[in-house]
């Protein structure tokens, strides 16, 4: 049985005050909630503060990006070793905002995946099609291309213990989530795609959905058999909404 993971991607939001308040709220509301792994990915500036604030709770620390280099003359970058050193565990790579604004290619994202595995960290590989690609019927083509960049260089075994977040770009931050049936169909496609290389790896793979998940639509999404939690943007900035999403995932797990 897979354990769902709900992860908050704070993006470029936060302050010392907000970090302290939000984590205090989450610790309080989530104590005793069982059946769902929880992680938060604050901006890199607040990772140390967040690490201290989550100590003794079952909230794990995540980060939003990593560089492919381990050290040296790479101004402004953060390495996998640094993330591990600071206590981060789940690292988002390939987010559509980085693919779009920072021109990150499938090949670069695959290198990041490899660097994280080497460092003993958990890659949260974001994939998903744009609205135009969706309308052109290219969802499966885009998702398989983005996964194959990792599968064909590192092999299916690299997905052991890793996470894929299916995030249709048209659903991110738009309030227009994929329907549970749409999301389930793509998640099943992704699991079957990995299973063609290794069925056991595909079976244990955590497949998150991401794209306008909120406290209202989470339960229906998590009731789908191939949706194992969510990567949450906007709603992860509010303790009550994020808590409701975590509880919905825990309930779906306990019901299933």
Nearest distance, CB of residue 233 and ligand PEP, angstroms: 2
* Binding of residue 124 to ligand PEP (CB under 6 A): no
Nearest distance, CB of residue 113 and ligand PEP, angstroms: 17
Kindly identify the residues of this chain, within the stretch 4-63, that bind ligand PEP according to CB under 6 A: 9
Residue selected from 23, 59, 213, 221 as contacting ligand PEP according to rule CB under 6 A? 213
Nearer to ligand PEP, 184 or 217 (CB): 217
Nearer to ligand PEP, 155 or 173 (CB): 173
Chain CA centroid to CA 32, Å = 23
Nearer to ligand PEP, 227 or 235 (CB): 235
Q: What is the dihedral of CA 108, 114, 118, 124, to 10 degrees?
A: 90
Q: Which helix (H) or strand (E) holds 127?
A: strand 122-127
Chain CA centroid to CA 46, Å = 18
User: Pattern of binders to ligand PEP over 151-180, x per CB under 6 A?
Assistant: ----------------x----xx-------
Its sign, for the CA torsion 50, 58, 39, 106, is positive
d(Cα 249, Cα 256) in Å, to the nearest integer? 11
What are all long-range contacts of 142-150, with beta carbons under 8 Å and residues at least 24 apart? 143/186, 143/189, 143/190, 143/193, 144/189, 144/193, 145/106, 146/94, 146/106, 146/109, 147/190, 147/193, 147/194, 149/106, 149/107, 149/109, 149/110, 150/109, 150/110, 150/113, 150/125
Detail the residues annotated as belonging to a binding site for substrate.
9-11, 173, 212, 233-234
Q: How many residues bind ligand PEP (CB under 6 A)?
A: 13
d(Cα 33, Cα 246) in Å, to the nearest integer? 8
Kindly identify the residues of this chain, within the stretch 221-250, that bind ligand PEP according to CB under 6 A: 231-235
Nearest distance, CB of residue 188 and ligand PEP, angstroms: 20
Nearer to ligand PEP, 42 or 156 (CB): 42
Give yes or no for a contact between 160 and 123, defined as CB atoms under 8 angstroms apart.
Answer: no
Nearest distance, CB of residue 6 and ligand PEP, angstroms: 11
> Residues in the site for ligand PEP, rule: CB under 6 A?
9, 167, 172-173, 210-213, 231-235
């Amino acid at each position: 049985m897979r354990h769902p993971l709900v992860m908050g991607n704070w993006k470029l939001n936060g302050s010392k005050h907000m970090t302290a308040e939000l984590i205090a709220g989450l610790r309080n509301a989530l104590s005793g909630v069982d059946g769902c792994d929880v992680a938060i990915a604050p901006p890199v500036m607040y990772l140390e503060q967040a690490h201290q604030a989550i100590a003794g709770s079952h909230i794990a620390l995540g980060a939003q990006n990593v560089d492919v280099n381990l050290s040296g003359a790479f101004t402004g970058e953060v390495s996998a070793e640094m993330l591990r050193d600071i206590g981060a565990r789940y690292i988002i790579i390939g987010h559509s905002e980085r693919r779009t604004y920072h021109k990150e290619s499938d090949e670069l994202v695959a290198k990041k995946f490899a660097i994280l595995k080497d460092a003993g960290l958990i890659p949260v590989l974001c994939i998903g099609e744009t609205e135009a690609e969706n309308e052109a019927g290219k969802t499966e083509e885009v998702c398989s291309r983005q996964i194959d960049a990792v599968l064909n260089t590192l092999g299916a075994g690299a997905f052991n213990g890793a996470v894929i977040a299916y995030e249709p770009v048209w659903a991110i931050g738009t309030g227009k989530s994929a329907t549970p049936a749409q999301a389930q169909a793509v998640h099943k496609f992704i699991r079957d795609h990995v299973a063609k290389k290794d069925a056991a790896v595909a079976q244990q793979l955590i497949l998150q959905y991401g794209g306008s998940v909120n406290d209202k639509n989470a339960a229906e999404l998590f009731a789908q058999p191939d949706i194992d939690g969510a990567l949450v943007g906007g709603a992860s900035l509010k303790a009550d909404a994020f808590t409701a999403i975590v509880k919905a995932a825990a309930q779906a797990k306990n019901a299933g």
